[in-house]
C-alpha cells in the first residue's frame, strides 16, 4: 500500500465512522428488496424481501429471510432452510466450488444465491474497514470528473486469490467528502465477464456509521443484464 493510497483509505475510513467506532459494532441488521433481470436469468426471479444480520468481526451473514428461505453464509459453507418447514437446514460445504463448471446460462439453486448474497453484502456493509487487511492491496488512481465538475478520487483494490468477493481487481470512487459513490467490478460467478458499476445514493448515518440507503443500483453494461437493488440498514 503506497503512502498516497494509505492516506486516501484513512480519509475514507474516517468519513465512514472511524476505526475505533467500528470496533464497537458487532453486527448490522439489513433489510432490502432484491430484484432484476439477472436473477430471472438465473432462475431466481424477484422481487425478494431480504433480512440479514451482517457480522463485522468474522466473515458471516445470517439470512433471516430471503423470500421463502432462510439460512447463513460463510466463505466455506452455506445453509438453506424453508421458512415454516420443520425440515433441518441443508448444508453445502465449499459452496463456491460448484461454480467452476457453470456457464452464463446455468440456473442457480438457493445455495448459489446465498453464496452470492452472502459475500456481496458482507463486503458492502463492512466497507471500507476490511480494506485494511494486510493481504489486500490498494492504490490511488485517477478518478472521474462528474458532469457537474465534481472531481472524484478513486482507490483500486487487488484482493488475494480466493478472497470471497465479486472479482480480484475492483475500483471505488469517492466524492469530496470521501463518501463511497460508485464501485466498479465484474461478477465472476455470473460467468459473463461484463464490466459493472454499483451506484450509491442517499447516504445516511447511524451512530457514526455512514452508509448508502434508500436506493443502490447495480448496472451492468448491456441491457440484458441489470440488477435493481433497494436496501436500508441499521446497526445493532
DSSP code of residue 151 = B
Range of the domain at 82: 3-235
* Mean pLDDT confidence for 34-38: 76
CATH number of the domain enclosing 50:
2.50.20
Report which of 39, 47, 96, 94 is spatially closest to residue 68, judged by C-alpha positions.
47
Question: What is d(CA 168, CA 187) in angstroms, rounded to the nearest whole number?
Answer: 10
User: Total domain count for the chain?
Assistant: 1
Residue 227: what pLDDT? 46
Arithmetic mean of pLDDT over the chain: 87
Q: What is the reported pTM? A: 0.89
Instruction: List pLDDT tens digits, range 114-169.
Output: 999 999 999 999 999 999 999 999 999 988 877 678 889 999 999 999 999 999 99
Q: How far apart are alpha carbons 180 and 174 in whole angstroms? A: 5
DSSP, residue by residue, 9-27: HHHHHHHTT-HHHHHT--E
Q: Please tell me the predicted confidence (pLDDT) of residue 177.
A: 94
Place of cell 438457493: 110
pLDDT at 212: 83
Q: Is 173 left (phi over 0), alpha (psi -120 to 50) or beta?
A: beta
Amino acid at each position: 500500500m503506497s503512502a498516497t493510497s494509505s492516506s486516501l483509505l484513512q480519509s475514507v475510513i474516517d468519513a465512514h465512522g472511524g476505526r475505533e467506532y467500528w470496533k464497537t459494532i458487532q453486527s448490522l441488521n439489513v433489510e432490502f428488496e432484491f430484484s432484476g433481470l439477472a436473477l430471472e436469468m438465473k432462475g431466481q426471479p424477484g422481487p425478494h424481501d431480504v433480512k440479514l444480520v451482517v457480522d463485522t468481526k468474522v466473515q458471516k451473514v445470517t439470512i433471516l429471510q430471503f423470500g421463502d428461505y432462510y439460512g447463513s453464509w460463510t466463505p466455506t459453507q452455506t445453509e438453506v432452510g424453508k421458512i415454516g418447514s420443520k425440515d433441518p437446514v441443508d448444508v453445502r460445504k465449499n459452496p463456491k466450488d460448484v461454480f467452476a463448471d457453470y456457464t452464463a446460462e446455468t440456473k442457480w439453486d438457493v445455495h448459489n444465491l446465498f453464496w452470492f448474497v452472502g459475500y456481496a453484502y458482507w463486503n458492502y456493509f463492512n466497507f471500507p474497514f476490511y480494506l485494511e487487511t494486510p493481504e489486500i492491496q490498494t492504490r490511488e488512481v485517477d478518478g472521474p470528473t462528474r458532469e457537474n465538475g465534481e472531481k472524484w478520487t478513486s482507490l483500486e483494490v487487488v484482493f488475494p486469490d480466493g478472497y470471497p468477493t465479486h472479482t480480484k481487481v475492483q475500483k471505488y470512487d469517492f466524492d469530496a467528502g470521501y463518501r463511497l459513490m460508485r464501485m466498479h467490478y465484474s461478477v465472476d460467478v455470473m460467468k459473463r465477464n461484463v464490466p459493472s458499476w454499483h451506484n450509491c445514493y442517499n447516504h445516511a448515518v447511524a451512530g457514526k456509521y455512514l452508509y448508502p440507503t434508500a436506493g443502490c443500483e447495480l448496472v451492468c453494461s448491456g441491457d440484458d443484464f441489470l440488477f435493481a437493488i433497494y436496501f436500508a440498514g441499521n446497526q445493532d
